[in-house]
Amino acid sequence: MTTTVEANGVTLGVEHFGDAAAPLLLCVGGTTMLSWPDELCESLARGGRHVVRYDLRDSGASTTVDPEAPAYTLRDLAADAAALARELDDRPAHLAGIGVGGMVAQVAAIEHPGSFAALTLAGTRSVAPGPVDDDLPDHDAATMGRLFSLPMPDWSDRAAVADHAAAGAEILGDDPATARVLAGRIWDRTPGTAPAAHLANQLGTVFAALDCAPRWRERLGEVAVPTLVVHGRHDPFFPVGNGEALAREIPLAQLLVLDAASTAIPDAAAGQVAAAMLGLQATAGDPHAGGAR
C-alpha cells in the first residue's frame, strides 16, 4: 500500500516491502516508484531488506506543482533521497536508482555520503539529459526517431495511454504486455486534478526540463561505497556503454549486464538482479549480506 512521508520539506509517496526493522534499501523511481518491478522488490525483501520504493516529485503520490517547469533541481531530488533515508532508518541505506532516478542516486551518493552504505545504478548514465560526452554512446537515433514519432495519446483515456506505452515498449525492445499493465497502474495513481503533464512526466516525456547543473561525472571517483551497475545489453535509450563507463569510473563498482534486457528490468531477471544487489557488502560484517532466499 502506498503511503506518504514528509522529507526535505516535501511529501514523497512511498511503498514498503519486508520487515521495517531490516536494513533499508531505498529505491529511487525514475520518475515513478513503479519503475522498480514488484517482483524485484519482493525478492529483495525476502533476502532480508526493508525495501522502500518512492516517487520523485511531480510523480505519483509525491508533491506535484508543475512537471513541465520544475522549481527544483537535480540536487534537490538528491537531497530528498538523503532526507528520506534518514527519516526511515538511522543507519546508512543501500540506495538504488533506475533511469533518471539513477542520476539522482549518483548525485546523492556524492553529496550526502554519510547517508548511504551501498549504491545500485540501473539503466542510467553519468551525464544529464541533453548533449552527451563524446566518449559515451548517445541514444540510438533510429530507435528514438520511431519512439518520438508516436502521436501523444489522450492522457485522460486510460486505454489510450496503455496502448501508447505498449507501442513505445515494443520500439525500445521491452515487453509490450508488461508496459501496458504498468502504464495502467501509473494512470490509476495519477491524481484526477493533475494536468496531463503529470502523467506524461511519469512516462518519461518531460524530465529534460530539470536543472541538472553542475556536472557530476568528474566526481564519481568520490563514491566510496560498494556499487552495482545494472544495464540491459540491448538498451537503445542509454546504450550499455554508459553502464560500462559508470563501472569503470566508480572505484568500488561491479557491472551486471542483462543479456536479454533493454531499458526495463524484466521479471525473469529479478532473481539475478536481487542476488547481485544483496551481495553488495553494505557495511562491514553486515549479517544480511548475501543472496536472495
Q: What is the pLDDT of residue 203?
A: 63
Distances (CA, A) of 266 to 18, 38, 163, 174: 21, 11, 19, 8
Name the pTM for this structure.
Answer: 0.93
- Quickly list DSSP for 232-272: ETT-SSS-HHHHHHHHHHSTTEEEEEETT-SSS--GGGHHH
Q: 2-143+190-279 — its CATH code?
A: 3.40.50.1820
C-alpha cell at 248: 569503470
> With 0-12 CB in 10 A as exposed, 13-18 as middle and 19+ as buried, what is 194?
middle
Q: What is the pLDDT of residue 206?
A: 47
d(CA 282, CA 181): 34
Q: What is the pLDDT of residue 130?
A: 84
d(CA 122, CA 26): 13
Q: What is the pLDDT of residue 268?
A: 97
d(CA 245, CA 217): 10
Q: What is the pLDDT of residue 202?
A: 60
Q: What is the pLDDT of residue 132?
A: 92
pLDDT tens digits, 177-214? 999 999 999 999 886 655 565 566 666 554 667 899 99
Residues of the chain with pLDDT under 70: 191-208, 281-293
Segments making up each domain of the chain, as ranges: 2-143+190-279
Q: What is the pLDDT of residue 30?
A: 87
